[in-house]
Structure formats: C-alpha cells, structure tokens
Amino acid sequence: MKEAQYDYIIVGAGSAGCVLANRLTEDGQYRVLLLETGGSDKSIFIQMPTALSIPMNTDKYAWQFETEPEPYLDNRRMHCPRGKVLGGSSSINGMVYVRGHARDFDEWAAEGAEGWQYSQVLPYFKKAETWAFGGDAYRGDAGPLGVNNGNNMQNPLYQAFVDAGKDAGYFETADYNGAQQEGFGPMHMTVRHGRRWSTANAYLRPAMQRPNLTVVTHAQVHKVLLEGKTATGVRYEKAGQVQDVQAAKEVILSAGSIGSPHLLQLSGIGNPEVLKQAGIDVQHALPGVGANLQDHLEFYFQFRCNQPVSLNRKLDWWSKFKIGVRWILKKDGLGATNHFESCGFIRSKAGVEWPDLQYHFLPAAMRYDGREAFAGDGFQLHIGHNKPKSRGFVHVQSADPKQAPKIQFNYLQHEADREGFRDCVRLTREIINQPAMDAYRGAEIQPGEEVTTDEQIDAFVRQAVESAYHPSCSCKMGTDDLSVVDPQTRVQGIENLRVVDSSIFPTIPNGNLNAPTIMVAERAADLIRGKEPLPPSDAPVIMDEHWQTRQRSGEAKRVL
C-alpha cells in the first residue's frame, strides 16, 4: 500500500460527516479528508429558514431519488431527496429538532446496539447543543448546534393547537426533548441568529480553518478500496479525473441511508444475490446491507381558518419580497423560522408505551414544497404514524456509481401501519374539534368530512400520504444476522471501515432524524478515537404510568 496522506477519510459532508470532520481534527492529532459530491451551501435559499422548500427540490443541492412503484400506495413513486451539498440533508431539511423518545434508544440497545440506550446517548445530545433557553439535566448550553423556537409562537394559532390538545385530554409538555416527550407544546428548530444552523455552519465551517482537515467538494466516490478484508482507501472522481486515495487508519462512510449502503454494495460488500444481479464481484458477504430500510410517512390535515391570521396571507410575491428583505437586513421576522412552532406527540391507543404519532402544526394551508397554496386563510397539521413495522431495501443496480440504486420502502405493507394512519385521522379530528379551536376552525379541506370509514381513510391515505424524508436503518447496528455494523460502528467482517449516519439506526425513532444523526456522530467520534464515553445520565424520563390502560392522560372534553 502507498503511504497514506490521511489518517481518516470521511465520505459525505452531511449531518454526520461534518460532525466527524470537526471532532476528529479538533486536537490536531489526525489528518482527515472529507469528500462531498455536492458543493457550497452559501445560498440564501439554504441559509434563510423560511425558504426550506427550495433546496430540497433543487438538483444542485439534492439527490432527487425516486422509489420504485410502492405496491401499498397504489403503485405511486415517492420522492426521496437527499442532501448533495455541504451540510448534506441538514442543509435542505425542515430544520425540526426532535431527538426521539427515550425508549427509542432503549429499543436500540434491546436490538443489540449495546451502549446506545438513552442514559448513554443523552450526554451526547447535550454535548452537541446550545439550547436557546439554557442548559439543564437534558439540554446543552455549550455545543455547536444552535436550537430555538423560531419566533416563539407569536401567531395565535400555535397556542390554540396546544390548548386543543389539552382540551382533548392530552398532556402539555414544556420541552418534548427534555423529561417528557408525550404531549403538546412548542416545537424546536436548528436555527441560530436567524439562519439555518446546519452541521456545515455548526461544525464544518470552524473546522475548515484547521490545517489537518482537507475538504474536497464535487467529488463522487466510486467505491471503497479493499485489500482482502481490510479497507485501505477510496476511489473517487472529480472533474472527470478518477483517483485513489489511501487512509492510514479508517474509511468512514457518512453518505446517508441511501448512499452508504449503495457504496458498500458498489465495493462488493453486501447480499451476494443483489451484488451478482448487478454484475459486481462479491468481496464480502453481508446480507443486511441495504435491508431494514425504514421511513416516516405523513399527510396534511387541512382546515379553513375563520380568522385573518394565517400565513396564507403572506404567500403573494410582495409579501415574500418584504419578508426576504427584512431577513437579509436583520435576520429576523418570518424569514427566520421554519413556521413549525408548535407540535404534539401522542400514543395511538392504550397499550402503546410511548408516543407513535407526531404532529407538526403549520399556520397555513399549503404543501411542504410550497406549491398548491390554499386560496384564503387556513391551517394544517402534518401527522404521521412514526413507529412503522414495514421494511424496505436499497439495492445497487449496476457497477456504475452514477446509476441510482433501486429504492423501495414497502410503505404501509404492515397492517399495524395502516391502523396507525386510521388513528391519525380520527384522533386529529377530535383534537381540532375542541373548544380551543372554535374561534379559528373552518371547514375541513382534507381529507374531507365524508372520509370516515376504514376503507375511505385507507384510500385517502394511499393517495395523499408523502414521505417525511426520514430514510434510515439500511445498515443496521447490532449483532444479529442482518446487522451491518457492530455497536462500535465498525462494518462486520471488514477491518478499518465504519458507517456513521442514520443508516445504522436499528429502528426509526419517534421524531425527525437530524438530531439523532448528529448524536450518533458525536458518540461515534469518541469511539473512533478510543476515548472514554461520556458518563451516563441518570435524568428521569416522565411517561404516562397508565399507558397500558389508557390512550391519553385524561378524558376528552368533547368527543365526536
């Protein structure tokens, strides 16, 4: 092997890769190369929070992946954008900051990811974060990642939604990322000083000043280089030139839940049948690569609004121009928020131990991508069943690294997932019909009041549901036959190769994935360096002690 120019090579400058680039270079001991297929994130459409719908729908900033026809969604092909820019998906996402429920991480440990239970990961959530309202047993106050509540729920619809949840008998929670997730309350976002606080802004930009970090953009990695069962480097292409680069210590894949399994497969690591069908020689049989793929689905429950307070009044070009100018000059106002400023986490039925349904509340009636805005005042709830049992896959299709992999989630394959969305419709109607919403609630736009039976709800969901853009779990961490990495994030059976990103989640958490992905990278950075893990937390978790016998904390005041 040639003398290595770098100690570590990180593939992918996304939510995990930027964290690793920072942490592995902070003491000056290691030489690190960070490779990213995309380019600069210095665009107003990335940095201005309210413009969130633009970068994810722009080829320059995102891989515009599409699934195979999904058999349980009337054979619809689903959009699956992934970040292709510095900051990765943290530069194109909705900036929602949700860690997940404590039990999600205890579930990881039970699945074989020893050391990743809640008590062990909470210190890394805290290490990553500066919470706008100060640190405590659950929140950090000195980390790179800025987190706040946007404009602090100035629009009255936000609080009305929280109050409606209380009216319906649910908990109120002041901090769903703290002691108690279950309930209704303010929502948090990765915004700092009015700007999107991606991992590029939070972690990578400070690290780029260090002489021991090299960042190469517009570099598409073709494969991991192997000598027997040892990773020695990577092959990548930039400006039409293909070159090999060596790593003295390790290669770390942080290309995300689509990119990381695809790169392993391109390197001959994966299910032998999948590799052979793609014409790729098997270097190492690892059947779990690309398997266990999971995602969150959601739909928009839309209502007319009887008061002139919704953001639909701000969707004309003149209003958008004024919002943009104010943001450019002052970095505040409606340009400085993602507009998801209140939320809810509830359990779908008695016997479910921790929340499996999530609400994002938006004081407007429009699509996530900014299209098809509703004429007139309106509001909507993004609602989804967040603990799916359906599983999909990512399969390489050929040895050509520029050919997109075959992606299929098998959304709603499992009956429990279909039941979850029926609960979404019925429980949401009950919440919005509480007294707190009386002054604002107009006619139901979507699904429509006529959609009531199981069959009608199922048909609506199949047509209306969309990805929440949370692909994960395709390189599962654990010790069973489908595990791809061990609890140290090392690829099973291959020396000097790790995967560190959302693909290694054993199961998908109840919430958005940027926060847990950053946590995984923070903890992995210590594992990679052989550092002693942060001391575990003994902070208590608050849950409904009667979860086995009731669906909410008390009786609803109004039942439809």
Annotated binding site: 7-36
CA 350 from chain centre, in angstroms, equals 27
Burial class for 453, CB neighbours closer than 10 Å (0-12, 13-18, 19+)? exposed
Amino acid at site 339: H
Six-digit token string for 487: 């609890």
What are the DSSP E strand ranges found in 294-439?
297-305, 342-346, 357-362, 378-385, 393-395, 406-408
CB 474 within 8 A of CB 260: yes
What residues are designated binding site for FAD? 7-36
DSSP element (H, E) containing 120? helix 118-128
Tokens 């959009």 correspond to 79
The candidate with the shortest Cα–Cα distance to 504, out of 320, 312, 252, is: 252
DSSP per position, 192-244: ETTEE--HIIIIIHHHTTSTTEEEE-S-EEEEEEEETTEEEEEEEEETTEEEE
| Rounded (10°) CA dihedral 378, 54, 475, 17 | -130
- What count of other Cβ atoms lies within 10 Å of the Cβ of residue 118? 22
In three-state secondary structure terms, 157 is: helix
Which residues, at least 6 apart from 10, have a Cβ–Cβ distance to it below 8 Å? 17, 20, 21, 24, 32, 33, 34, 35, 252, 254
Radius of gyration of the chain from Cα atoms?
Answer: 23
The candidate with the shortest Cα–Cα distance to 76, out of 89, 84, 65, 67, is: 67
Rounded-to-integer distance, Cα 224 and Cα 234, Å? 4
Spell out the SS3 assignment of 304-340: EECCCCCHHHHCCHHHHHHHHHHHHHHCCHHHHCCCC
The candidate with the shortest Cα–Cα distance to 197, out of 133, 150, 242, 261, is: 150
Six-digit token string for 473: 């779990």
Write out the catalytic residue numbers: 470
Cis peptide before 509 (omega within 30 of 0): no
